Amino acid sequence: MRRFELFPFLQYYQKRHQYHRRRKVTPSLAPRQDLLQCLLQDGIAIMENFIDRAEALRLGREVQHLWQNRANHPGMETLRKNGRDLILDIDRWLPETKVFFESDLVNGLALAYLSPEAVPLRKSSVLTDHANEDANINFYHFDHWERWPRAFLYLTDVTELNAPMYYLKGSHHWGLWRQSKEQDFFRYYEIRLGKETHPSLESRYTGCFLPPESSTLSRQLGFSEVVCTGQAGTLVVFDTYGLHRASPLQQGYRLAFSTTWRLPEVSFPLEQTTEQEATRC
């Protein structure tokens, strides 16, 4: 039985209220209004052929080469989490990544959706190459009680066998159904600021919904599931405040660039978010 605690609830409520007052949707910043409307309405926008498939595959080979030769790059930060291998600050090692990370379209979309003040976090490549790994992110979940828009650029073709992300359209709106889990996130980060990343086994699953819970929510609230497949060069922009999940890799591997935006001056310093970002798909 969940115990109601008034003081943490009030703290959460106050911070959440302050945070969401700072969000400022600014359509004029979006170079593509159709994509912004998808993002606002569904929580996700997918654009095929953001870059040419052959160019995306070439970038993917460059990343693979970097990964295989990472021992020759002192200072390169890598991270393995939830079956994924990340190269952090990939833009430092591969300048051609600016086609994505410095794209006016991508950045404009994120800032239009969240706020002109939004800032991108560290820019990563994300490689999924271990088949059938269990992970907490394979449950439908949201990443935080803040809105963190995230963008992927696929560097490989992603079919249903290549660990596509699943997203529940419409689940990025606030509702009572998510309040207790948002409060759990608040507690989790407050505790995390103390010392530990995961203070308990339970907190590792903060924001997660069991399959019967997410299917019931979908039925009752009208969420519709989208499977984010697409060929190399596809752009996926989504709000991690909506319900999304990873899926186990069944064949081949999946490689993508990824970055996330947040509002500055939040409840904990931006530089502490890197590992957390990596724990979520």
Q: Which residues bind Fe ion (CB under 5 A)?
A: 143, 280-281
Q: Which is nearer to Fe ion, 187 or 280 (CB)?
A: 280
Six-digit token pair at 230? 């697409």
Q: Which is nearer to Fe ion, 55 or 225 (CB)?
A: 225
Q: Which is nearer to Fe ion, 16 or 280 (CB)?
A: 280
Which residues, in sequence order, are bridge partners of residue 261?
A: 120
Closest CB to Fe ion: residue number: 280
Six-digit token pair at 98? 């600016």
Q: Smallest gap, in angstroms, from Cβ of residue 217 to Fe ion?
A: 16
Q: Smallest gap, in angstroms, from Cβ of residue 245 to Fe ion?
A: 8
Q: Which is nearer to Fe ion, 85 or 143 (CB)?
A: 143
Closest CA to 163 of 244, 250, 84: 250
The answer to whether 142 and 244 are in contact (CB under 8 A) is: yes
Q: Which is nearer to Fe ion, 147 or 280 (CB)?
A: 280
- C-alpha 92/C-alpha 122 separation (Å) is 10
Q: Smallest gap, in angstroms, from Cβ of residue 139 to Fe ion?
A: 10
